[in-house]
Structure 1
Amino acid sequence: MSGLINWLEIPVADMARAIRFYEQAFETTLKRETMAQVDMAIFANHEPGGALVAGEGFRPSADGCLPYLHTPQLTALLARVTAAGGKTVFGPLQLPGDIGHIAHIIDSEGNRVGLHQPLVG
């Protein structure tokens, strides 16, 4: 095991709407699957991996766990988030110690999601 984080699931209420939001905001393509009666849209192959998930027991929320997703261009991503129907609720904030910049958004489903742009070395 190379790290503690292994997989990330972001709950959604409307999978089609969430896929449109994440594909537009993150300029990516998600792969739709069903696994054990859970509707999923898998993020592009990254380590660790993750997916949007819809099904019994999955409820979007702005409270609770706060996942952070990587972005090489935070300002551009925040503009796409707004265009895709989300909103910025915190930041951008420059972190101390050359850690980079962060912001928080509310996605199309009402989830609070963190964004992190590391400083380019």
Structure 2
Amino acid sequence: MKNIINWFEIPTVDLKRAMAFYESVMQLSLRYENMSNVEMAVFPYQDPATGGALVKFEHFTPSAQGCIIYLHTSDLNATLERVAAAGGECVFGPLELPEDIGSIALFMDSEGNRIGLHQPPL
């Protein structure tokens, strides 16, 4: 086992809206897929890196509570500006972590999920 996490999913109510939000905020393109009637927008990744997706499925509900995933950013402040421009809201941070770990912040996305951002030390 190289990583304890091998996949993540961010629940959505409106997949198209969530795709537009994340593509704008993270400045990337998501790949649409439909697997067994589960709609997904997959974040770019290359094996063996951890992959993940936005997911629209009747049993998944966005939440401001629960687990938090942290997405990588090389410029935390610029990413938070894009969060606000895309209709999201910063709810914590930025906070510089001790011991040269980097900086973090939390935001609410277009679907009502609380998501983390991590910028490694410069």
Instruction: Specify the TM-score bucket, using the shorter chain as the normaliser.
Output: over 0.9
What is aligned with 1:49?
51
What is aligned with 2:94?
92
Deviation at 1:52, TM superposition (A): 0.1
Q: Which runs of 5+ in 1 are unaligned?
A: none
Q: Which runs of 5+ in 2 are unaligned?
A: none
Aligned ranges 1:29-68 → 2 under 5 Å = 29-46=29-46, 47-68=49-70
Distance 1:96 1:64 in 2: 24
- Runs (4+) of structure 1 exceeding 3 A deviation are none
Give yes or no for the alignment of 1:113 onto 2:115.
yes
**TM-score where L is the length of structure 1:** 0.97
Specify the code of the residue in structure 2 equivalent to 1:12: T
Deviation at 1:2, TM superposition (A): 1.1
Q: Aligned Cα RMSD in Å?
A: 0.7
Q: Percent same amino acid among aligned pairs? A: 57
**TM-score where L is the length of structure 2:** 0.96
Specify the code of the residue in structure 2 equivalent to 1:36: S
Distance 1:79 1:91 in 2: 13
What is aligned with 1:9?
9
* Count of matched residue pairs: 120
